[in-house]
Structure 1
């Protein structure tokens, strides 16, 4: 009989507990459900920025390039500056500041002596005493001995002091260092005592016309044929003879402002000018003096230049006259004639005696 508790009375009395059967059914693992991630919309591709090739280079390479560029620029600037500041030393009358340095024992290479600033001196007519009587034949002695002592050319004699004194207001060398340097040159011997230039052999070649040197403020004779006016540069005026066969250089008569540093004494200025003229004689030439005399407001030096030509001893007769003109520097007359044209040597007398102020 069922009781109110939903069971039989007997069963409740006995106190037995109802049992439940469980089914041992096979179970399978449930699949894991993964949350589906939302799909990303692909972003538009941005083109890669091109990197500079310079940025890819190592810094040491960049530094080297910069260093090379700086060096090239410095060299270019130096070349330009050197070109702009370089003078034209081969042109007479051009000036360089500074003193003349003593030359080495070996004869210096051709080139004009260093010059410095000078000022004009009083002008006066040049005396024609250059052609006065005296010894005519050049010295036959051998090559001059080298000497560094300037004792023989320290100053002109008393009779020439009036013509060789320093003009007032002119800028001249403060000392005799340039003269000492010239006398140290083995090509230049000490000056002799005053000696007038005698009549040289040959034709006088005198002409009736004259040439004006406006730069120097002087004038001189225009020699007759076969002399002819030639291109003046780098001089102010130039006359030449036709080049002789076998001659090492051409005979010429030129004028220009003195291309050297003006000295206190005109005799010293002429000495430096004569040394400078060796640049227009064959290489290896040495001077032998034949005349040294004062002229009005100046000085005259005549000399023979000895040299070798194809193993044979040759020579040229030459003369330098410096005088005060109306130019900014004293004027210089220079004439040289090789021994192959010896018949024209007397033209030296003509040229020197024709020197006048313009």
Structure 2
């Protein structure tokens, strides 16, 4: 019996040594045997999506706006929070860059009759028939052309306090205002610049808006009327009423500050 117990003790010692060897040795050639291993920052669960890799891929944005203030998104790209209003403008494929090739237009004689809009601090031309005054809401003044049979759009001339963020340069403010006016044109409309120039206390832009097989002529004039926000005058006339395109020149020539 004594020999049997001695043999059992020997076997137990051999087994313990083997277990210790398994715990020390790596299980494969790519593993590290010594030293603690840091836990990953996020471990994906079997029921949820995998955590994103910290290494940026070629399809991800190069940097956020806060990391690179001068970065400008390419046309049509999605915008991350933090981009400036002008960067958003430059990324909009509906609005081309305003280059030096866009010339000034010759302004006509000032109008003889005016509409005084005290909420914007602007005086704007009162256009002759077939234009007529219309209920202003949600604007502060409105003139319209009669509806044309079979056409969804009609001429519109309105004023309101600037509905977008004012920029340091009047030209940039006018650009953002022109982009905003696409809300009042059919979906998918695109701008082509026709004229750009400074006016007293502001800036004017004249442009063509193309949509499907049609187009409108439009203009914005942004002028500081002495109120908390600059005033905006916006006119658009569809090609179904192209005879009134000449009135756009009268509008941009006649907008002025009341004070």
Is the Cα contact below 8 Å between 2:154 and 2:241 reproduced in 1?
Answer: no
Is the Cα contact below 8 Å between 2:158 and 2:233 reproduced in 1?
Answer: yes
Give unpaired runs (5+ residues) of structure 2: 1-72
Q: Are 1:281 and 2:181 counterparts? A: no
- Of 254, 259, 265, the match for 2:158: 254
1:180 corresponds in structure 2 to: 87
Q: 1:221 to 1:341 in 2, by over 3 A?
A: same
Question: Secondary structure, in 3 states, of the residue corresponding to 1:346?
Answer: helix
Q: How does 1:15-164 map to 2 (within 5 A)?
A: 146=75
Question: Whole-Å Cα distance in 2 between the matches of residues 199 and 246 of structure 1?
Answer: 33
Question: Secondary structure, in 3 states, of the residue corresponding to 1:316?
Answer: strand
Question: Secondary structure, in 3 states, of the residue corresponding to 1:234?
Answer: coil
- How big is the shift at 1:230? 0.3
Task: Kindly provide the CA deviation profile for residues 104-135 of structure 1, in whole angstroms up to 9, marking residues without a partner as x.
Answer: 99xxxxxxxxxxxxxxxxxxxxxxxxxxxxxx
Question: Whole-Å Cα distance in 2 between the matches of residues 207 and 183 of structure 1?
Answer: 35
Question: Whole-Å Cα distance in 1 between the matches of residues 83 and 168 of structure 2?
Answer: 8
TM-score, normalised relative to structure 2: 0.65
Q: How does 1:217-236 map to 2 (within 5 A)?
A: 217-236=121-140
2:221 corresponds in structure 1 to: 321
Q: 1:281 to 1:322 in 2, by over 3 A?
A: same
Is the Cα contact below 8 Å between 1:176 and 1:263 reproduced in 2?
Answer: no
1:237 corresponds in structure 2 to: 141
Q: 1:176 to 1:263 in 2, by over 3 A?
A: farther
Question: Whole-Å Cα distance in 2 between the matches of residues 207 and 244 of structure 1?
Answer: 26
Is the Cα contact below 8 Å between 2:161 and 2:231 reproduced in 1?
Answer: yes
1:117 corresponds in structure 2 to: none
Question: Secondary structure, in 3 states, of the residue corresponding to 2:219?
Answer: strand
Question: Whole-Å Cα distance in 1 between the matches of residues 230 and 107 of structure 2?
Answer: 26
- How big is the shift at 1:244? 1.7
Task: Kindly provide the CA deviation profile for residues 159-198 of structure 1, in whole angstroms up to 9, marking residues without a partner as x.
Answer: xxxxxxxxxxxxxxxx981011011111111112152125
Is the Cα contact below 8 Å between 1:147 and 1:183 reproduced in 2?
Answer: no
Is the Cα contact below 8 Å between 2:200 and 2:256 reproduced in 1?
Answer: no
Question: Secondary structure, in 3 states, of the residue corresponding to 2:160?
Answer: strand
Q: Are 1:337 and 2:237 counterparts? A: yes
2:66 corresponds in structure 1 to: none
Question: Whole-Å Cα distance in 2 between the matches of residues 192 and 243 of structure 1?
Answer: 35
Is the Cα contact below 8 Å between 2:111 and 2:254 reproduced in 1?
Answer: no
Question: Whole-Å Cα distance in 2 between the matches of residues 264 and 293 of structure 1?
Answer: 16
Question: Whole-Å Cα distance in 1 between the matches of residues 244 and 107 of structure 2?
Answer: 12
Question: Secondary structure, in 3 states, of the residue corresponding to 1:344?
Answer: helix
Is the Cα contact below 8 Å between 2:161 and 2:229 reproduced in 1?
Answer: yes
2:105 corresponds in structure 1 to: 197
Question: Whole-Å Cα distance in 1 between the matches of residues 229 and 85 of structure 2?
Answer: 17
Question: Whole-Å Cα distance in 2 between the matches of residues 248 and 303 of structure 1?
Answer: 20
Is the Cα contact below 8 Å between 2:205 and 2:221 reproduced in 1?
Answer: yes
Give unpaired runs (5+ residues) of structure 1: 1-103, 106-145, 149-174
Over alpha carbons, which structure has the higher Rg? 1
TM-score, normalised relative to structure 1: 0.48
Is the Cα contact below 8 Å between 2:115 and 2:123 reproduced in 1?
Answer: yes
Question: Whole-Å Cα distance in 1 between the matches of residues 175 and 119 of structure 2?
Answer: 21
CA RMSD of aligned residues (A): 2.4
Is the Cα contact below 8 Å between 1:210 and 1:222 reproduced in 2?
Answer: yes
Task: Kindly provide the CA deviation profile for residues 214-235 of structure 1, in whole angstroms up to 9, marking residues without a partner as x.
Answer: 1110111111111000010111
